[in-house]
Amino acid sequence: MRAKRVHKIGLYVLLVVVTSVSAQEPIYWDVFQKIMEEAFENSRVMENASWLCDVFGPRNTKTKAYFESAQWAKKRLEVYGLSNARLEPYEFGVGWSNEYTSVHMMSPQYMPIIAHPAGWSAGTDGKIRNTVTYINFYEMTKESDLDRYRGKLQDAIIFMRPQQEITPHYEPMAKIYTKEQLDEMAKIPIGPRTERRRRRRSRGDGLTVTQVIDFVFAEGAAAIVRTDGRNDFGTVDAAVNGYAMEKRAWDTDAPPPVTELVMAAEHYNRILRILEMTEWIKPLHQLGMSHLFTTGMAHEAYTEVGLPGFYFVQDRMDSRTYHSNMDVYDHLVPENLMTNSVILATLVYHAAMRDEKLPRVEHQGW
């Protein structure tokens, strides 16, 4: 009981001291007025912003653009009349900047892709090209979940999470804080300081996402791809890289970085939808089928009216029979007809069992 009373007295004295000091702080109204006049009548803020945004661009720590913009800021302050403007030395590990990125979907249709490397992502040392592999890293909860991928991920481009849900925006994107929200945010907590720790990217006591990433690159993966998890309409936030944060990729003694791309949600989702269709082909590999095309010949009439059409390219055993007077029964290959019937029946069945319609392909014309 006594200890509780002492605690209350100490808290009361602390609050009185803070209030007393705050009340003695002077306000220089004349200087404030001059600042207002400069800000709203002689402003150079947009000119300076253009230099930073347009000329120097992204300025990650310890990059060429960062140092160039810092030198520019020093000279600009000198022009404004400040004396002794200088750059203070500081210690930092490894800087990072994006020199060039170009991502494209090559089949079944060409599509330029909106994607940016995540912060501190490694480069690819030239062009890489491969089919997409989908692995939901967030379902990998134990070591045994990784076993089926061992020895199968060399040069793989891995999409690491499910499709991002995109919903219509009915509310304004811009939000203005209410007074109540600001009051809540401005509260000063009193009491023992609690350590704020970054949320560990794991599911309970299972594997962390970081461990799954380490595994796929140890198996030879070329790159991992994800969305930023919140933006749409082609907007990409690649600044936050959880893997780099956990590995402290900027430290001089950090492990080698991995190649990680953040892709626009619409493009990411489209590729995964197409991949769902190509997944149906896997049982047909034993019959020699390897590709599914959305461009071809007669089926274009279906795509013209909004129906999905698919084209099967078959090896031409004898070109003399095609569209000729000898395109007859005698030149049919029974094994090919049997194979084709399995392929068509398999794809029709899987299409019928889907919960959603097949993705539509833009009509290319005849």
Instruction: Check whether residue 251 and residue 321 sit in a common domain.
Output: no
For residue 214, what is the domain's CATH number?
3.50.30
Beta-carbon contacts of residue 312 (< 8 Å; ≥ 6 apart) = 289, 292, 293, 340, 343
The whole-angstrom separation of Cα 65 and Cα 75 is 15
pLDDT of residue 199: 47
The whole-angstrom separation of Cα 131 and Cα 276 is 13
Instruction: Check whether residue 334 and residue 240 sit in a common domain.
Output: no
Instruction: Check whether residue 216 and residue 318 sit in a common domain.
Output: no
Instruction: Check whether residue 222 and residue 115 sit in a common domain.
Output: yes
Query: For the chain, what is the domain count?
Result: 2
pLDDT of residue 186: 87
Of 271, 297, 322, the residue that ends a domain is: 271
Q: Classify residue 293: in a domain, yes or no.
A: yes
Whole-number Cα distances in Å, 224 to 32, 55, 58, 113, 260:
52, 31, 23, 15, 5
Residue 334's domain comprises 280-352
pLDDT of residue 238: 87
The whole-angstrom separation of Cα 234 and Cα 115 is 9
pLDDT of residue 320: 66
What length does the chain have? 366
Instruction: Check whether residue 131 and residue 210 sit in a common domain.
Output: yes
Q: Classify residue 365: in a domain, yes or no.
A: no
Instruction: Check whether residue 299 and residue 208 sit in a common domain.
Output: no
Q: Classify residue 229: in a domain, yes or no.
A: yes
pLDDT of residue 274: 85
pLDDT of residue 206: 82
Q: Say if CB 198 and CB 245 are below 8 A apart.
A: yes
Residue 94 region by backbone torsions, left for phi larger than 0, else alpha for psi between -120 and 50, else beta: beta
Percent of the chain with pLDDT over 70: 81
Instruction: Check whether residue 141 and residue 210 sit in a common domain.
Output: yes
Q: Classify residue 159: in a domain, yes or no.
A: yes
Of 271, 294, 328, the residue that ends a domain is: 271
Instruction: Check whether residue 264 and residue 156 sit in a common domain.
Output: yes
Q: Classify residue 75: in a domain, yes or no.
A: no
The whole-angstrom separation of Cα 61 and Cα 146 is 36
Q: Provide the pLDDT confidence category of residue 212 given band limits of 50, 70 and 90.
A: very high
